Amino acid sequence: MNPKFFPLILCLLGAPASLWANPLVFIDAAHGGSDTGVLSGKQAEKDWDLKFALALKAALAQAGFDVALSRDGDSAVDADKRTQTINTSGAAAVLVLHADKEMSGVIAGPFFVVEPPNHPDGAEGSEVRRWGLVTPSQYRQSLKLARALAFQLGVGPDFSDLSDSRGLLGESGTATGRILCSPEQSLRDLTVPAVDVIPLFLSHEADLKKYSDPAALASFCAKLAKGTAEYLRGSNE
């Protein structure tokens, strides 16, 4: 071996493991087991959350990501354990999947929910980062992820007019906005960039019909995977 390559080899050997590993994306399929989530007729949210999670896992793996899931079957997961597993996973991004419903039957997916900031950057000093503290910098990364996902799905970057004013960053919400900055139980204790993806509404017949087609489901998840890749590419630049 040519000795001139030794410094380079030693440098690479000392590089962090993250340099070699594929980025890890954590998929949180909400609810499960006896926790059905919302119900609409014969449709249970937990089933759709899992259906999207498994399709998204396949799409992310095909795109070259390592993937972890909170559940891969119809099992209940304790909320604190779910949070701890995500926060200690080393994930670069978290996608929480929540089907939803609303009374009018008119609203269709998708929507993207981000937790508003509730704690200033650096205020915790040298303490270990505590759960439940969403700093502006973490919020901006989550918002960046949400907008990358929305772009790939052909959804505009506007905030919903129902958004929490703490996260509007000087922007105005609109009646057609699909980015919702709002307190969300599944997000508030996470310490990494995270978005709650609402892919469909169980109360919207066209949504149900569309995503009952495996091809449409796979296409939706492939776009989420592409948006995740775009986000991570930008965050590493």
Predicted confidence at residue 62, as pLDDT, reads: 97
Neighbour tally for 36: CB within 10 Å? 14
pLDDT for the residue 48? 98
Whole-number average pLDDT of the chain? 88
| Residue type, position 97, single letter | L
CA-CA distance, 225 to 67, in Å (whole number)? 11
User: Helix H segments across 153-197?
Assistant: none
Half-sphere exposure of 190 (CA within 13 A, CB side): 32
Backbone angles phi, psi at 93, to 5 degrees: -160, 150
Nearest to 227 by CA among 140, 146, 147, 149: 149
Alpha helices, DSSP H only, in 32-181?
Answer: 45-62, 79-87, 136-152
Residues 70 and 177: their CA atoms lie apart, in Å, by: 29
pLDDT at 12 > cutoff 60: no
Per-residue pLDDT of 68-77, as tens digits, reads 999 999 999 9
Residues 6 or more apart from 153 whose CB is under 8 A from it? Answer: 110, 220, 223, 224, 227
- Tell me what the mean pLDDT of segment 192-198 comes to: 97
- Please check the confidence at residue 81 and state whether its pLDDT lies above 60: yes
The more confidently predicted of residues 53 and 169 is: 53
116 or 122, greater pLDDT? 116
pLDDT of residue 131: 60
Q: Which residues contact 133 (CB under 8 A, 6 or more apart)?
A: 118, 119, 124
With a pLDDT cut of 70, the percent of the chain lying above it is: 85
The mean pLDDT value for 91-109 works out to 95
pTM: 0.87
pLDDT at position 11 over 50: no
3-state secondary structure of 42: coil
| Diameter over CA atoms, the chain | 72
CATH class (in words) of the domain with range 20-124+133-235: alpha beta
pLDDT at res. 15: 41
Q: Average of pLDDT values for 110-129?
A: 72
The pLDDT tens digits for 121-178 are 665 544 445 566 788 999 999 999 999 999 999 998 999 999 999 888 888 999 999 9
DSSP 115: P
